[in-house]
Every structure is written in C-alpha cells, then in structure tokens.
A and B are shown apart, each in its own frame.
Chain A
Amino acid sequence: MADLRTEEFVVNMGPQHPSTHGVCRLVLTMDGEKVVKIEPVIGYLHRAIEKVCENRTYMQCIPILDRFEYVTSMSCNYVFSLATERIAEMEVPERAEYLRVIMLELNRIASHLLFYGVTAMDIGALTPFLYGLRERELIIDLFEMTCGQRLTYNYIRIGGVSRDIPKEFEPKCREAIKIISEKMADYEGLLNENPIWLKRTKGVAVLPKELAIAYGVSGPVLRASGVQYDLRKNDPYCIYDRFDFDIPVGQNGDCFDRYMLRLNEIRESIKIITQALDGLPEGDIKNKKSRMTYKAPAGETYTRIENSRGEMGIYLISDGGKKPLRVKAKGASFNHIQVLPHFGTNMFIADLVANFATLDVIMPEVDR
C-alpha cells in the first residue's frame, strides 16, 4: 500500500462555512484526508472601519470600534479610550477605573463562554453550546442593565464611563459570578473526561513556542504554547497591578491546552471581579473634560491591551483636529490566521476544524 500513488486536490472551505467563525475562506490542498497546504483568503468582512474612524470625531469612533471586535466590545471601547487618554494625558476617576476592570473582565468571561460553546459545537458536541450560552446570558443581563445594549455597548468613553451602574448591579453581579464558578465543574465534567473530546484535541495541532513568537501570536494561544506573556501583568494598564491573580500557562500548545487555558482564565477573571467589587470606591465616573465634542491634542501612540483573544492594539495619531488623523486597529486574530498555514498542515481536515476553533479567530478583527 505504501507505494500507492495518490493525487492532490483542492477543497474550498468557506467563506460560508459554519465552523470558520464568520466568513473566512480556506483553500485547502488535500492528499486524501490530509491537509497538505492551507491558503487563507480573507477580506469578506472588510468594512473599512479604519477609514470610517478617520471620518468621525473621537467620541463617534467608539461605537464604530464596537463593531471591530463585537464579542468583546468593551475592550474595543477601552483600548481606544486609553489611547486617547494617553495622548491627552487625561486623568480617569478611581471609580471609573474599577468599573472598567469589572466590565472588561465580565466581557472576557462572556467571550470565553462563547468560545467554550462554539468550539465544542465545531468538534461535534452540541450540549456545551447550550450550557455556555446559558451562563453568558447572565453576564449580558448585567451589561444590559448598565448600558442598555446586549452586544455593542459603547460604555467605556474617553475619560471614564458613560453612566454609573444601577443599585442592583452589585448583588446581581456577585450572584452571576457565583453561579458561573459553580458551573465550571459542569463545563469541565462535560468535556474533560470525554474520550472523544480528548482524542480530538490532545496532541492535535501543536503550535511550537518559537513559531508562535515569530508570528506575533498572542493571548491564550501564545500562553498555551508555554510563554508566560500577559499584558495585564507585563505591560500593566488600567489598575490591573492592584489585583491579585495568576496567569495560567499551558505546556504543550495543543488544542486541549488552548481550551483548558481559557477555562482557567474564567476562574482568574472571577477572582479579579470579586476584588474589584469589594474595592469599588464612590465618586465621579467621568473626567470633567470628557464631552461629546472632545478633541485630543497632537500626538501619537500605540496602545495595546489584553483582550480575550490576545493583544488588541490601536495606533492613534491625532493632529489636534476634530477627527483623528489615523486609527489603526490591530487584532490578535490577524496573526492567528497568518500563522495557520505554518503549523496547520499534515493533519486531517477534521483536526483542522478543531485547530481553527481553538484559535478562537473572529473575522472582523482580521478584516476590519
């Protein structure tokens, strides 16, 4: 059988494919069931967000950037606000900083719960999807209570946050994170001892450390490969340096590690939220200078934060005018898709789906 001659053929996966998480297209060269070559084709969701931002005032940019990475809109709001604040050297009230941390971490949990459900569904288990999205709704309720939107929040503004949390937020939030931390055992119980799940993820699609660094991979995918690099610790922003939390690190860099790492991150986020709720001070929620017609002084900076997918960055250039001169948005998924052809080959096409799912790629971040 060894000298049986086979012929390579091309399979087109996407752009409309349920497991490509949006509209990514992969042109696969196959040898039987094995993938020989991957050629990602992107741009199906290129909405010109950067050009649109150049045409808006600073405050008007924030709702547009919500759509840049809609699963964690809070971090998009935050990274743009932080960039403007760094250029303007603007002070942010203490209470606003605490509220920002709470919202960012709640959003991270929501994103990881979505990841948990969707990844399992891609690999063929439908039940985790229902479990993950059930608890995600609790967090969405909290956001809705605060800013009135379920997905695109426009909550974190330049110099603070748009409004204070309602009175019932704190008890509801504590209850929600209590429920989620209790349900973590369920999530792990559903998958971690499932032999099919283990076969599909353990040892599959190992991303070596050196390759990950060379291709600018960040976030949980980088940490799963054994690099302890989290911007919340390594390049602290906001008030993350006041909280006590750990950075989970993986060993092997395979699909299972990437999945497990995200579940562990939910636990750490719960720790941060609990501390932030305990220490939440009274006071203003917005800098006095923060108005709808806000203009930043001239300057430029690259600001990066750690969102649930990895490094999210904004390169903001202001010339002192009403509108920003340039807003360049960088998303972690751009690098994750770029590295895929370099380690995703020589595996079954079904494993490629598992690999793609655990990279947790989201397409608007790639195409913008």
Chain B
Amino acid sequence: MGLIKKVPVYTEKIPGGAFVLTSLETVLNQGRAKSLWYLLFGTACCAIELMCTGASRYDFDRLGMIFRATPRQSDLILVAGTITKKMAPRLRRLYDQMSEPRYVIAMGGCTINGGPFYYDSYAVEKGIDHIIPVDIYIPGCPPRPESLMEGCIHLQEKIKKQKLLDWQEK
C-alpha cells in the first residue's frame, strides 16, 4: 500500500494541505485515459495523417498518446488505413496480443465499411468491426488530424465513465 502512505506527501503540496477523496475507479480511469499508448498500425493513406498528427504541428503527445511499435506495450490499436482480406487475420492476431484493457479506434472510411472500395473491390474487408470490436469510428478519407484528436478525446471520455470491473466481464 505504498500509494496510501504517499498520499499525505502529495496533499501537503495542495494549499491548505487538505485531503482529496476520490474513488479508486476515478484514479484508475484517469490514469488510463491520460496515457493511451497506441500501436502504430498504419496500413494505408490514413497512416500519413496519423504521422502528421504525431509530428510538430498537431503534437499528439499532449493528449498522452505515444506510439509503440509492439502490441504488448499498447492500450489502443489505432487502425489507420484499409484492411484487406489478406491482412485481416494479422489484425486479429495483433488485437489478441494486446493486454486488457484495450481499445480500438477505426480511423477512416475504409475501416468503417470499406470506404471508396465498398462496392466493387474484391480484396477489401468491408469494415473492421467484422474482425475486432471497435470503440470509436472516425469518418473521413482520410480524416483530418483534428478529427483524429477529437476521436481520441471521445475515447478518453468513454474510458473515464467505465466501471472498475467492466473490462473483466468481456
């Protein structure tokens, strides 16, 4: 219970030295929401916008989003780009390799329903929700960095509302 011993140390810095009472749920959710490390999973056009979001102008890091190259270190899989039928089993495997709690953002039209390839492409998977459960859909072809960030903020709000044992029930 190292945390409880340290609580007075932190609260002393608050003017007046008052205690802050909150539920464990809020603390955990706050931690989870503010440090979403995402798996770099860029397959097509949206990956370039994802890079732009991570770079100088948009600065994804300020939302606590840092890219990871391996699924084992990430909380969020940001599916950026078309998923083809050949790629679909790999996406499922990457998702399975992530540890709970895990979240999915579907970025761009292709991941929602096939996008421009919906009608007449024989090779594109028509939506990744056939393969993995999706938390947030971000439309656009490709979405602007602002909409990607908006989507991430929505995901953070969703995380903040979740109950402590929610993810275990799955």
Contact = CB atoms under 8 A, between A and B. Distances in A.
Q: Are A and B in direct contact (Cβ within 8 Å)?
A: yes
A46 B84 CA distance: 7
Interface string A36-70: 00000001111111011001000000011001001
Contact of A133 (B41, B51, B116): B51
A46 B142 contact: no
A48 B123 contact: yes
B120 A133 contact: no
A363 B81 CA distance: 12
B90 A44 contact: yes
A47 B119 CA distance: 12
Nearest to B110: A47
Q: Could you tell me the dominant secondary structure of chain B's interface residues?
A: loop
Contact of A152 (B45, B55, B82, B84): B45
A224 interface: no
Interface in B70-129: 81-82, 84, 86-87, 90, 94, 116-117, 119-124
Interface in B50-76: 51-52, 55-57, 69
B48 A70 contact: yes
B46 to A, nearest CB: 9
Interface in A66-98: 67, 70-71
A18 B43 contact: no
Contact of B124 (A48, A136, A150, A364): A48
B41 A130 contact: no
A43 B86 contact: yes
Interface in A287-324: none
Contacts of B40: 18
A45 B120 contact: no
Contacts, number: 99
Nearest to B52: A133
A151 interface: yes
A150 B51 CA distance: 13
B45 A137 contact: no
Contacts of B47: 22
A47 B55 contact: no
Nearest to B56: A134
A143 to B, nearest CB: 13
A137 B52 contact: yes
A55 B45 CA distance: 22
Interface in A1-27: 15-18, 22-23
Contact of B43 (A44, A129, A131, A151): A44
A117 interface: yes
Contacts of B87: 15, 23, 44-45
A63 B141 CA distance: 11
A151 B145 CA distance: 11
Contacts of A134: 55-57
Nearest to A129: B55
A47 B45 CA distance: 12
A161 interface: no
Contacts of A51: 120-122
A114 interface: yes
B139 interface: no
Interface in A328-368: 363-364
B170 to A, nearest CB: 23
Contacts of A64: 116
A47 B90 contact: no
Nearest to A60: B116
B49 interface: yes
Most-contacted residue by chain B among A71, A114, A133 (CB, 10 A)? A133
A70 B84 contact: no
Nearest to B87: A44
Nearest to B55: A133
Given A52-B117, A63-B116, A46 B123 contact: yes
Interface of B: 40-45, 47-49, 51-52, 55-57, 69, 81-82, 84, 86-87, 90, 94, 116-117, 119-124, 141-142, 144
Given A18-B69, A44-B43, A133-B57, 6 more contacts: A22-B47, A46-B86, A117-B55, A137-B52, A151-B48, A363-B44
Closest 10 CB pairs of A and B: A133-B55, A134-B56, A70-B45, A48-B121, A55-B120, A18-B69, A44-B87, A48-B123, A130-B56, A137-B57
15 contacts: A15-B90, A18-B40, A22-B42, A22-B43, A23-B87, A44-B84, A45-B81, A47-B123, A51-B120, A118-B51, A137-B52, A137-B55, A150-B142, A363-B44, A364-B44
